[in-house]
Amino acid sequence: MSIINSTNIELIHPDSKVHARRWKILAILCLSVFLVVVDNLIINVAIPTLARELGATTSGLQWIVDSYALVFAGLLLACGGLADRFGRKLMMQIGMVLFGLFSAYAALTETTGALITARGLMGIGAALVFPGTLAILIDVFRDPVERAKAIGVWSAVSGAAVAFGPVTGGLLLKYFWWGSVFLINIPIVIIALILQWRFVPESKDPNAERLDIAGFLLSIAFVSLLVYTIIEGPHRGWSSATSIAGFIGTAVLIAAFVWRELNTEHPLLDVRVFSDMRVTAASSSIAIAFFSLFGFTFLVTQYFQFVRGYDPLESGLRTLPFAIGAGVTSPIAARLSLRYGSKRIVPIGLLFMGVAQIGAGMFKANSAYFGPVVGSMVLMACGLALVTSPASESIMGSLPREMAGVGSAINDTSREVGGTLGVAIIGSIFATTYSPQIVKLLAPFKLPDAAQSAAEQSVGAAFAVSEQVGDATLSNAIREIASSSFLDGFQVACTSVGAVAIFGSLLALRFLPSRVANVKTEVR
């Protein structure tokens, strides 16, 4: 497989009916991607309820959240290869059916273990759906200018979905039982399936040969082991034998995957595409952007609930400026990238995200919402849009249309691994400041060992301890100390992640090519 020259791209889909309804197809694809991205975060606001209703431990709650991300990320590259070979629409529809069925199963579970299993099975469906959305978009939109605009819309929806997850979850939990956060998926799945069947065209690699089974299995193994090691790193310790073994094992599996793909006639992924910096630098930029985004979301939702005292719905609603900012900026980012090139736009986006993170680190308990809080969220959203639209276009525009499924999977895997790493690392950085600080501040109160230990684990646990003590003065003191310690950890974590984003901006400026060669288009 070789990277194609963009001058050979036909500007109109050969099927005139498909071309005529291309924007309708985009809307259907966006509905599908919105569903699977929202489910990444919708469960977060239900954690306190699940702890109470299912009696889930801290470890159990973690895996209710992370089992979806682990399976989703682990299967993306493999599912992208399946889509290219057997049909992107077919794989997407199979994924939607599985997603709907396992959502129903999740809603009806009664134990922590069953819910963890259900969430993992939902991840299988999501991994089948996600690569197909961007791959079909690339096949339908042949004109590079329209394709960039379409990717901008796709990026806007996937970015906004991150903010809508907590809003949707909070709204459902306010009026219904916790299973509603899963049952809401079913009518959306049914609508999406009908629309996909009626309007979305099938596409696949016409030259696909037999499936590279070894590459397929190795891709699942190395991504899954990497994500698992990242998830467990904060709990086992980054320097523990388990974490070190996990990273070494990942490196060995990646080496085996690369060797296999270079030495087989029909690879799952032609790894030589990474010699093109449009692919490597763009996918790295996406990973850094989602590292920053997920870390930001992880901390800001806790800031709203524990420091500001908002309930889940109120917290979710206060993240809407992010969704609006991403939605407005993504289509503009696509046009700017066409006019000025991704080398100029992507670094600005990462710089915006870095500044937004550092600004968020300055939040106080009484910071004005319509001021620094909204300002940081909007700047973060604009930065994300300036990265994802141009970088996704850079990746997809660098690969043959026949490889669109795998190209989409590269893009999607970068997002998931970057996001997972962001939550894990920012959580670790936060804990290194929060825990010693709250220990020091609570020491004069001489709390029972169990209460002291619980308060050290998280700000949520500290607030729970404050509710269990009988003395109102002591309760208020514990809450104030927990909030103060949280803000100390919040500042250090946000500043650290902001520095990573700014460093990523410099890397993008250094390594992203100025423009895609030989594309002569007029920005309309």
Q: What is the CATH number of the domain that holds 330?
A: 1.20.1250.20
Sequence-ordered list of residues with C-beta below 8 angstroms from that of 308, at least 6 positions apart, any chain = 365
Whether residues 234 and 183 fall in one domain? no
Residue 293 has pLDDT above 70, yes or no: yes
- Most confident by average pLDDT, 21-35, 165-179, 388-402: 21-35
Residue 285 has pLDDT above 50, yes or no: yes
Residue 154 is encoded by which pair of tokens? 């796709």
Note whether residue 159 is domain-resident: yes
Quick one: pLDDT at residue 7?
A: 39
Whether residues 126 and 236 fall in one domain? no
Reported as a single tens digit per residue, the pLDDT across 461-489 is 788 788 777 778 888 888 888 888 888 88
Supply the range of the domain harboring residue 283: 15-211+268-436+485-511
What average pLDDT score do residues 366-392 get?
88
- Residue where one domain finishes, among candidates 202, 235, 267: 267
Residue 176 has pLDDT above 60, yes or no: yes
Read off the pLDDT band of 514 (50, 70, 90): low
Note whether residue 463 is domain-resident: no
Read off the pLDDT band of 121 (50, 70, 90): very high
Whether residues 350 and 330 fall in one domain? yes
What average pLDDT score do residues 452-461 get?
77
Quick one: pLDDT at residue 15?
A: 64
CA nearest to 456, candidates 51, 47, 58: 58
CA nearest to 452, candidates 435, 427, 473, 477: 435
What average pLDDT score do residues 426-439 get?
83
Residue 297 is encoded by which pair of tokens? 């979301």
The domain total for the chain is 2
Whether residues 492 and 412 fall in one domain? yes
Whether residues 386 and 420 fall in one domain? yes
Residue 45 is encoded by which pair of tokens? 């606001």
Read off the pLDDT band of 517 (50, 70, 90): very low
- If you average pLDDT over every residue of the chain, what do you get? 83
Whether residues 253 and 347 fall in one domain? no
Whether residues 356 and 227 fall in one domain? no
Note whether residue 224 is domain-resident: yes
- Residue where one domain finishes, among candidates 241, 267, 293: 267
Whether residues 173 and 240 fall in one domain? no
User: Hunting for tokens 């309804």 — which residue is that?
Assistant: 21
Reported as a single tens digit per residue, the pLDDT across 263-283 is 888 887 778 888 878 888 888
Q: Are 389 and 333 in contact (CB under 8 A)?
A: yes
Residue 379 has pLDDT above 90, yes or no: yes
Read off the pLDDT band of 372 (50, 70, 90): confident
- Most confident by average pLDDT, 39-48, 215-224, 243-252: 243-252
Lowest mean pLDDT among 46-60, 370-384, 450-464, 468-482: 46-60
Quick one: pLDDT at residue 521?
A: 44
What average pLDDT score do residues 345-355 get?
94
Reported as a single tens digit per residue, the pLDDT across 4-19 is 333 344 555 556 777 7
DSSP state of 330: H
Q: 276-306: b or e for each residue (b if 16 or more CB lie within 10 Å)?
A: bbbbbbbbbbbbbbbbbbbbbbbbbbbbbbb
Q: What is the pTM of this model?
A: 0.84
Whether residues 30 and 174 fall in one domain? yes
- CB-count exposure of residue 324 (10 Å: 0-12, 13-18, 19+): middle
Residue 520 has pLDDT above 50, yes or no: no
Residue 55 has pLDDT above 80, yes or no: no
Note whether residue 150 is domain-resident: yes
Whether residues 261 and 317 fall in one domain? no
Note whether residue 58 is domain-resident: yes
Whether residues 255 and 290 fall in one domain? no
Note whether residue 298 is domain-resident: yes
Note whether residue 170 is domain-resident: yes
- Residue where one domain finishes, among candidates 250, 267, 284: 267
What average pLDDT score do residues 286-293 get?
91
Residue 342 has pLDDT above 50, yes or no: yes
Residue 312 has pLDDT above 90, yes or no: no
Quick one: pLDDT at residue 10?
A: 55
Quick one: pLDDT at residue 518?
A: 44
Note whether residue 228 is domain-resident: yes
Whether residues 367 and 298 fall in one domain? yes
